A = this chain, B = another copy of it.
Amino acid sequence: MDGPDFSKGLVPAVAQDHETGEVLMLAYMNEESWRETLRTGHATYWTRSRQKLWRKGEESGNFQEVVDVLIDCDRDTIVLKIRQHGGAACHKGYRSCFFRRLVDDQWVVDDEPVFDPDAVYRKQDL
């Protein structure tokens, strides 16, 4: 099986709730994180800010069980259909990172947080 095309760099991966279709987050993968995702069945990304492998949920418990993997026509974007454990994908405590929507030229928060980030993450990791 040919994997995603990493020749142009990191590949964006969209994590989508496998039941509701809600887009929960977008993160990036390098080849190592792609292989780890397939090997473990848990979404594994590459963090651009920390420049390391990111086993999503390793600290918070909010890991993502991979149900289905889709690839796009150009093989440079992935969709992961996932089962979100812990109820929240977003490090700010929301179910989805896309908790704001545009209404009359203003961003409006459109969801309630599931957890308090201060209680879940160590201060130095925020």
Contacts and interface: CB of A to CB of B under 8 A. Distances in A.
A102 B1 contact: yes
Total identical chains: 2
A97 B68 contact: no
Contact of A71 (B2, B90, B107): B107
Interface residues of A, number: 35
A21 B79 CA distance: 13
A20 interface: yes
B73 A92 contact: yes
A100 B71 contact: yes
Interface of A: 1-2, 12, 14, 16, 20-23, 25-26, 38, 68-74, 77, 79, 90-92, 94, 97-102, 105-107, 110
